[in-house]
Amino acid sequence: MKRIRTFVAVDLAPRVTTAASGLIELLQRELASNHTDIHWVDTEQMHVTIKFLGDVDESELADVCRGVELACRTIPSFELQCLGLGVFPRPERPRTIWLGIDPDGTESLQRLHLNVEHQMVERGFLRENRRYAPHVTLGRVRGAADWRGLTGVLESHTSFQTGGSPVEALIVYASRLARGGPTYMPLARIPLA
């Protein structure tokens, strides 16, 4: 049985990904001196993950999409705006550089996440142990480096914001891992209420 690496996400408006791409260019310049070990995300791959499902049997994908459809039924369309810059897990040892979400959009994303989580747990997927923190990944850090200057860079971009991005649907994606990084293929687009 073929297994497909799968996740559920919200796509972003082009004006948001364009602004995020501009921020990446700034960060590349500001961190260029000794931080060449960052894999920056391509604009086409920027999204807000709602739930990562891992490897899913191809035969289960229709049921996953049904669960996402049920999760979307009670959440009306809304708008999110990206705001601020941060890292996971902490600035001294970053693994992910991210763009945050304005609190207004975060509340709706949290509700979507809870609905999807409930539907997927009912279908046998594991419940996420970590608190859900919606964000847009900008870069993934590889290897160790001296990150003492990172805090200053983060603080200089805390007021960064993008234009609004309408959220009208969830996308079920297949993710294919390759040498140059992952590629994402939409499997289903499921509208919100």
CATH code, residues 3-191 = 3.90.1140.10
Give this prediction's pTM: 0.93
Could you tell me if 20 and 79 are in contact, meaning their C-beta atoms sit under 8 angstroms apart? no
Q: What is the pLDDT of residue 127?
A: 95
HEC profile of 49-109: EEEEEEEEEHHHHHHHHHHHHHHHCCCCCEEEEEEEEEEECCCCCCCEEEEEECHHHHHHH
Q: What is the pLDDT of residue 73?
A: 97
Domain range summary for the chain, segments of one domain joined by +: 3-191
Please list the ranges in the chain whose pLDDT falls under 70.
Answer: 33-36, 143-146, 148
pLDDT digits (tens, 9 = 90+) for 54-92: 999 999 999 999 999 999 999 999 999 999 999 998 887
Q: What percent of the chain shows pLDDT beyond 70?
A: 95
